[in-house]
Structure 1
Amino acid sequence: MLNRVILIGRLTKEPELRYTPQGIAVTTFTLAVDRPYTNQQKEKEADFIPIVTWRQLAETCANYLRKGRLAAVEGRMQVRHYDNNEGRRVYVTEVVADNVRFLESSNSGGGSGNTGGSPSQSYRDPFQDEGKPVDISDDDLPF
């Protein structure tokens, strides 16, 4: 059996960091993932998928992810349930992430400001100049 999920999308709001009574960090956020088609009005639609991260990954996500940032999430789908105040059973479907990649630097256009001290700050997008000529000498080519 296999339960593996890979998603790429943008955060819809700031991540929420909490700690369990045992002191374990847990961060939740929602990822907006575009659907591969448009609706009848020719508009793109998205799914809003809840993500949960634990321990060190939770603290890293809370410190460096921001609303609007592009991220890749890898993990597993989980369905849990609880009984609400009215005694009704409520089902929650979420992705428990074991790997989160920050796909934009903190100063790129997709984010919502500088996160300060982000490990991805020194990252330079290799496709930033996509479509523009690249100056490479023949000596630099491996073939």
Structure 2
Amino acid sequence: MNSVVLIGRLTRDPELRFIAGSGRAVANFTLAVNKNLSKEKKREFEEKGIATADFIRIVVWGKQAENCANYLSKGRLVAINGYISTSSYKTNTGETRYSTDILANNVEFLEWKDKKTKKDDFSYGAEPDNFQSVEDDDIPF
């Protein structure tokens, strides 16, 4: 079984391109996923200059790729469900290079903010100044 679930933050804005001939959209971005470290271990790693996160390349296809490019940006928290894909290619010098990517089947946006203004898109109703306190005796349950 080849199944991956990741939660992390984008290290850069998604790059969107369209495949020549088919016009199919594909987006690429890198996700920073924190390693499962205790506070002490994390502090120790940081003091030694050792990375406390893994940086994983993500590839998204189709309409979902367009949505990622339109609504995600650097620093945004997302959840990815997909699978590992490995490939290789030859460089101009004949050297073989290997690549490991996560091909995303599903991208869940875990933070909603306006890409341009970086403000929240959602509202909970009244502003905090308009809230009135409620006594426990007033609650019917």
Normalised-by-shorter TM-score class? 0.7 to 0.9
User: Partner letter of residue 12 of structure 2?
Assistant: K
Paired positions, count? 123
Runs of 4+ that moved beyond 4 A: none
Aligned pair 1:10/2:12, yes or no?
no
In structure 1, the residue matched to 2:62 is: 55
In structure 1, the residue matched to 2:130 is: none
Aligned pair 1:76/2:83, yes or no?
yes
TM-superposed CA distance for 1:122, in Å, is 3.1
In structure 1, the residue matched to 2:44 is: 41
Which SS does the other structure have where 1:67 is aligned?
coil
Instruction: Go from structure 1 to structure 2 and tell me whether the alpha carbon gap of 1:63 and 1:23 turns closer, same or farther (over 3 Å shift).
Output: same
Question: Please, which runs of 5 or more residues in structure 1 have no aligned partner?
Answer: 125-133
Instruction: Go from structure 1 to structure 2 and tell me whether the alpha carbon gap of 1:135 and 1:33 turns closer, same or farther (over 3 Å shift).
Output: farther
Higher relative contact order, chain-length normalized (CA < 8 Å, sep 6+):
2
Instruction: Go from structure 1 to structure 2 and tell me whether the alpha carbon gap of 1:138 and 1:71 turns closer, same or farther (over 3 Å shift).
Output: same
Does 32-41 or 4-13 show the bigger shift?
32-41
| CA distance in structure 1 between the aligned counterparts of 2:93 and 2:135, rounded to whole angstroms | 67
| CA distance in structure 2 between the aligned counterparts of 1:102 and 1:84, rounded to whole angstroms | 36
In structure 2, the residue matched to 1:101 is: 108
TM-superposed CA distance for 1:9, in Å, is 0.3
Q: TM-score, normalised by structure 1?
A: 0.75
In structure 2, the residue matched to 1:122 is: 122
User: Partner letter of residue 53 of structure 1?
Assistant: V
Contact 1:64–1:115 at 8 Å: present in 2 too?
Answer: no
Contact 2:45–2:52 at 8 Å: present in 1 too?
Answer: no
Instruction: Go from structure 1 to structure 2 and tell me whether the alpha carbon gap of 1:40 and 1:121 turns closer, same or farther (over 3 Å shift).
Output: closer
Whichever of the two has the greater Rg, that structure is 2
Q: TM-score, normalised by structure 2?
A: 0.76
TM-superposed CA distance for 1:63, in Å, is 0.4
Question: Please, which runs of 5 or more residues in structure 2 have no aligned partner?
Answer: 125-133
Which SS does the other structure have where 1:36 is aligned?
coil
| CA distance in structure 2 between the aligned counterparts of 1:62 and 1:78, rounded to whole angstroms | 21
TM-superposed CA distance for 1:121, in Å, is 2.6
